[in-house]
Chain A
């Protein structure tokens, strides 16, 4: 695996007595899209706030691009772009002027770069309109442009497709893929699990401040055994036979069918046939990220 672009070590944040982030260890690698998932209030934005030096950790530490980050130590963040929560814009300035302000803090960013970024996020035509008058989706595009302005090595995007229509969402997904192809590493925090599944290489799932799952999307999904639904002439004898099959977890009866969890459907079929039971119907349910998410955050 390549260089780590974001690593938290037992990172914690407590407000009063309430732990919002509880000793989490996550790692995002260079050149990948790392998905950061969790239900509302799971502590995602607080974690990202600590990674960006905006929030003081109660305990633990965070490294970005190999350097420690604290609110008093943010030098490395000049190589980072971030869209954290709702886009932070000056409403009485135009989109272009908002970018111009940010450009003053980013060496090497000139008017041409501003125009390029506006074009990249599809805002070139509306660039001179006041940001306060923009729709949520357009504000999101300005926020994205602000994050991209300094040609970041590492891009942190918190709900980047908020307020965008389906076409806009697809554009952003394509943009993320293009950025990764150019060498940018991306951390994508999103509620849209389908979006994460399409774009991310690895994910971490946060629930009540704790990491409840982390790894490659494919590996995590593989780890979740799909269910096998069977229609057999006699339910109970078939269930008894299947209980002897190694790896089988639960066996339940739903709507006159056996639902077998924890075993591969080919092994189930083979086992039944060996015991002289011929199913009249067999179907499998694939596990997607939503199923995984719901199972680990339940």
Chain B
């Protein structure tokens, strides 16, 4: 039943234009980020002052920045998954056939898949851009220096650190029964509150427990794609700790959403 519901949610979401527009935007953003870096460093590359980075750099840089666009989009898609059910009253179909817990887990799994797809697409887009740019520059394609296993693992942990946003979006949309209000509150939190709190209280220990800080911690593991290790600043948690805490946040928020959904009246 869970897999059937996931397939249903995936079809409902993927048949909209918005996810595809978001992926396209993500590709453009990844490409432009790398483009800016290469253009600004072009003189250094030409003089030999800076060595032309390998593919691992392109991939890690792109994944490092997915949250900039990712968090707002995750919040919007989470709100759509729940809010549309209330607006279209389609939840009655799923709830007559499946339990509320299964239905909500399916939505969360769909969101997790979407985040994974988002990260994978980012990797593909940035990889293609990096390879293309360096082929144009050097006339050669160089796939060396990439730890592919670490790249696959990176897709997993960068998805995990995004999950709290997904669970928060589901909870907010359930509480408000509205795509728009749920997305607006989530959007406000992800874009304004977190960034503002993060910037104003950067030195306060508590800030390190914000989902945004956990994401930042995890990005330090991205260096492993190029078989490098970089020390994590003291203000942030160790990446593995950050991933586990993010997972715990997601589970707690999802648990709250399930509890609420089980108590909620639907329709009538």
Taking a contact as CB atoms under 8 Å apart, the answer to whether A71 and B4 are in contact is no
B8 in complex: contacting residue of A55, A89, A104, A146, CB < 8 Å: A104
Q: Which of B204-235 contact A (CB under 8 A)?
A: none
A56 within 8 A of B: yes
B99 in complex: contacting residue of A45, A74, A92, A101, CB < 8 Å: A74
A55 in complex: contacting residue of B4, B5, B267, CB < 8 Å: B267
User: CA of A276 to CA of B88 in the docked complex: distance in angstroms?
Assistant: 70
Contacts of A50 in B (CB 8 A): 268
B263 in complex: contacting residue of A56, A86, A101, CB < 8 Å: A56
A105 in complex: contacting residue of B12, B97, B265, CB < 8 Å: B97
Taking a contact as CB atoms under 8 Å apart, the answer to whether A72 and B16 are in contact is no
Closest to B12 in A: A90
Taking a contact as CB atoms under 8 Å apart, the answer to whether B7 and A86 are in contact is no
Closest to B11 in A: A101
Contacts of B91 in A (CB 8 A): 88
B100 within 8 A of A: yes
Which of under 10, 10 to 19, 20 to 34, or 35 or more describes the interface residues of B?
A: 20 to 34
> Known interface pairs A45-B267, A105-B4, A105-B8. Does A90 touch B95 (Cβ–Cβ under 8 Å)?
no
Give the shortest distance, in Å, between B263 (CB) and chain A (any CB).
7
Taking a contact as CB atoms under 8 Å apart, the answer to whether B12 and A54 are in contact is no
Taking a contact as CB atoms under 8 Å apart, the answer to whether B262 and A54 are in contact is no
A93 within 8 A of B: yes
User: CA of A72 to CA of B97 in the docked complex: distance in angstroms?
Assistant: 11
> Known interface pairs A101-B8, A104-B8, A105-B5. Does A54 touch B97 (Cβ–Cβ under 8 Å)?
no
User: CA of A56 to CA of B91 in the docked complex: distance in angstroms?
Assistant: 15
Taking a contact as CB atoms under 8 Å apart, the answer to whether B268 and A106 are in contact is no
Contacts of A287 in B (CB 8 A): none
Q: Which of A130-163 contact B (CB under 8 A)?
A: 146
Main secondary structure of the interface of A (DSSP, over half): loop
Contacts of A187 in B (CB 8 A): none
B32 within 8 A of A: no
User: CA of A298 to CA of B262 in the docked complex: distance in angstroms?
Assistant: 38
Q: Which of B240-264 contact A (CB under 8 A)?
A: 262-263
Taking a contact as CB atoms under 8 Å apart, the answer to whether B90 and A88 are in contact is yes
> Known interface pairs A90-B12, A105-B5. Does A54 touch B93 (Cβ–Cβ under 8 Å)?
no
Q: Which of A33-54 contact B (CB under 8 A)?
A: 45-46, 48-50, 52-54
Give the shortest distance, in Å, between B77 (CB) and chain A (any CB).
15
> What does the 1/0 interface line of B1-29 toward A look like (CB < 8 Å)?
10011011001100110000000000000
Could you say which of A75-83, A201-209, A216-224 contacts chain B? A75-83
CB < 8 Å A-B pair total: 90
User: CA of A101 to CA of B90 in the docked complex: distance in angstroms?
Assistant: 11
A46 in complex: contacting residue of B5, B8, B268, CB < 8 Å: B268
Closest to A81 in B: B96
Closest to A80 in B: B96
> Known interface pairs A92-B15, A93-B15, A104-B8. Does A49 touch B96 (Cβ–Cβ under 8 Å)?
no
A84 within 8 A of B: yes
Give the shortest distance, in Å, between A43 (CB) and chain B (any CB).
9
Contacts of A46 in B (CB 8 A): 268
Taking a contact as CB atoms under 8 Å apart, the answer to whether A86 and B262 are in contact is no
> Known interface pairs A56-B263, A92-B15, A104-B8. Does A49 touch B268 (Cβ–Cβ under 8 Å)?
yes
Contacts of A146 in B (CB 8 A): 93
Taking a contact as CB atoms under 8 Å apart, the answer to whether A82 and B92 are in contact is yes
Taking a contact as CB atoms under 8 Å apart, the answer to whether B93 and A102 are in contact is yes
> Known interface pairs A49-B265, A56-B265. Does A77 touch B89 (Cβ–Cβ under 8 Å)?
no
Contacts of B1 in A (CB 8 A): 105
Taking a contact as CB atoms under 8 Å apart, the answer to whether A90 and B267 are in contact is no
A262 within 8 A of B: no
Name B residues whose Cβ lies closer than 8 Å to a Cβ of A: 1, 4-5, 7-8, 11-12, 15-16, 84, 88-100, 262-263, 265-268
20 sample A-B contacts, Cβ–Cβ < 8 Å, listed by A number: A13-B268, A49-B266, A49-B267, A49-B268, A50-B268, A54-B268, A55-B265, A71-B262, A74-B95, A74-B97, A74-B98, A77-B96, A85-B267, A89-B88, A93-B11, A97-B11, A101-B8, A101-B12, A101-B93, A105-B5
